[in-house]
Structures are given as C-alpha cells and as structure tokens.
Structure 1
Amino acid sequence: MSERNIQFGSRAGLLVILCAVAIAITACSGGGAARKRDAEGRVIPTLAEQDPSGTLYARAVSRAAAGDCTDDTLNVLTCFAYRGHGYEGAQTALGQCYLASGNPAEGAEWIRRAANAGWADAQRQLALLYLRGEGVSQNAVEGAKWARLYSRNARLLALGVQPDLSVAEEFRGAMTSEENARSEQLAVNWVPSYWSATTEPDQNVLRSCAVEGRRPPAQRPEIVTAPDPY
C-alpha cells in the first residue's frame, strides 16, 4: 500500500471517530426524536445545554424537577441558591422541594427571591401560589402581577419559548376590572431585585457543591544555557 493511501485511510478513520463522538454527544444531551419541544415545535434546550459547565448544578435542578428531593439534592440546591444572583434556577428548584415536603412558607420565599430577579419559571409559580394562597396570603391582584410579568418575560421570549397560557387562564374571571388595572400597574412599575445571603449554610452544605477546578498547567523548567564563548 502506498504512503498516500495510508494517509487517506488514517484521515478517513479519524473522521469516522469524530462523527461517532459527535453522535454520542448528541444522544447523551437528549438529541433526536426524544427531545422535548414547545407548542411551536422548537426544541427546548436542556439544563445541561443552557449551563454546560455546571453539570452538578444542572443535575440537582433536574432531580428536583423530577420530584427527587433527597437530602443530597437539597444540600446541593441550598449551596448554589446561597450564591445569590445567577443561581435563580437553584432557588426555584429549592422552593419546589420545600413546597413538596410540606414547608410552603419556606418554599414560597425561595421562589419569590428568584421571581424578583426575573426568573421566568419562578414568576409563573409565584403567580399560582398567590392565587391559591399557598405559602403566602391569598392575593389575586399580586398573583396576576406575577402572571403578567411571566407572560412578558424577555429572557423566556429570547429563547423562543412561549409562556404557558394556562397561567393566564387561571386568573380569568377571578378579578374585577379595577383589580385587573391594579395588577397591570404593579407589573408596569416592577423592577428586578437580587437577593444576597446575610448568613452562610453549614459546612456540610457548602461542601456539597464544591467542584475541584482544573489544575494550572505545569510551569516549564527554566532552561539554563552557557554563555557563547565566541
């Protein structure tokens, strides 16, 4: 076999391997026919795709969404949630777990923190909590405010994801025209605010989301050269 044929065969083999790896990555990330789609048929990005470098974070949020609120999951979510702005997904998931475990007041508080920062799913959930009086005092006007903010959430719309229309339906006929006008004004006047922790969770919780960073590249040894005698 000629050297040229050997080179071609090597390149072809490498191409096959790269294609196989690409297919595997797509399959592992939920690609293909199994991917979830919105009402318009657009593929909904997974949490891992939205935050590819935060797999521990994404896994914990996904477990909470599936109802897996074990102590380990709660510790990881709490650890991330205490980091404040940028971790509203963990705050929302933590709130969901508290609601599911029979602690509605604590759950509503975590969801409110994420909603105040503009997290769309938290705004959706908080709207329904106010409508039903779960973990908060029942207040349809306040709930409608959050429902309006959710339906207009710029981050949600930027992803091409349409709001859940059933949320608005929940408020249909629940308020007078005057109450509707008040909720609209509250939504117009709303500005985001970001929660910052004033305390720290215990060390076991803090260790639960500690991820070992990459080691810095080894420094090259200094090359010592003899002076040129010429």
Structure 2
Amino acid sequence: MPYLIPTILIALMMTACGNSENASTPDTSKGTQQSTLNEITPLGELPSFLKQGLSAEEQDALKKEIIPTLDDGMTPEERFKKLRMDAEAGDPDAQNGLGTMFYLGEAVSRDAAGNIMESDPVTAAGWFSRAAEQGHADAQFNLGLLYLNGEGVAQNTSTAVKWFTRSAEQGNVDAQNNLGVIYLTGEGGATQDKDLAIEWFRKAAKQGNEEAKQNLEAIQAQ
C-alpha cells in the first residue's frame, strides 16, 4: 500500500494571509516578474482545474469549504479588496486566505507578458510566509507543502519539515501525516526515522485522519 501524502491545499479556509522578509521566500510585496491584479473569479465559481473529475455535488461541497463567506453581501471585488487590506495590515488569517486564493487561481495574476496565470504559487508563498512567521498553523502547513513540492519556492525538504513540524505541533493533522511520510520514506533526502514516523502517524490518526490510519496499516502489514 502506498503511503498517502496531501498534495493540494483545498482543505484550508480562505479567511486570511501574512509577511516575512526571509531571503529564501519571495518578497511579493515589492513585485517580481509577475503583476497581481485585484480581481477574482466570478462569485460562486471554482477554477476549471479544480472542477476536473468532480460531480456537481462535490463541486458544491468544495465551494462551501474554500469560499466560506459567499453570503456576506459583498461583491467579489469588495471581498478581495477587504481581504487584501486586512492582509497588508498584518492579519495572519487574511494573509493565509489571500495566499490560498492566489494558489488556487481565485485571485487573478498576470505574468510578465500580461497573460493570466492559472495559479500563482510565488505570490501565494509570499503570503503564506507572512502568516507562517506569525505562527498561523494552516499557513505553516501550506508553506511546508510548497517547499516540499518546489512550488513558488526552491524545493527544500528540510525547510518543508521545519514548517510542517511547527504546524503539526499545533495539531494540524495533515502536517502530522506529512511528517510521518517524510520520516518513513526519507522523502527528498530527509533522515529516515520509522519510530518518529509512527509517532506522527498516530497523532494524526487519533484526530481521525484517514490517510494516517492507512499509513499505519501499511506499516503493520510489512
């Protein structure tokens, strides 16, 4: 049985974002090769790449999960501007939410040629970093995932482990499961430690994480 590790960020609510002047993390507040616009996809719609393989019911469930404030009486533009304002003021929830929007393609970015980007992990990484530095557990998980996959930042497993650990210590079950996988398999050159892997899997499993439960079963079946 293969060990299961989350690969996308759909489990996170879009309610916040953050800031860090870390040399290894892009400083998107000053602008890079990309130009960000204060636009989002139409209200109530998912980006096309998130709809693939999902039934109408599953799409509705996903929308409720990642777009939790559709009935606040605000237009998409007003909602985005408020989120951006709160994020720039230092609200870590807003920073994490803004990072999620850029990663999922709900906030529109353009590349240097002016083409709309389906996803903007560079800008997402900048906002996740800002929130993560303030101790936001979901942002720490998100940033760890970007480092693990090399999305928006240079791939670096040891940095991913650092952020996963900070998130996991606050009870984030996906971070706990990811740490278990990394320590068990030596993902990205990480030091293998089966006992530590089992410890993290058990913590996640106790919170009901199905992936961690399956990973424990796979270890026991060996």
What's the TM-score, normalizing by structure 2? 0.49
Larger proportion of helix: 1
Higher Rg: 1
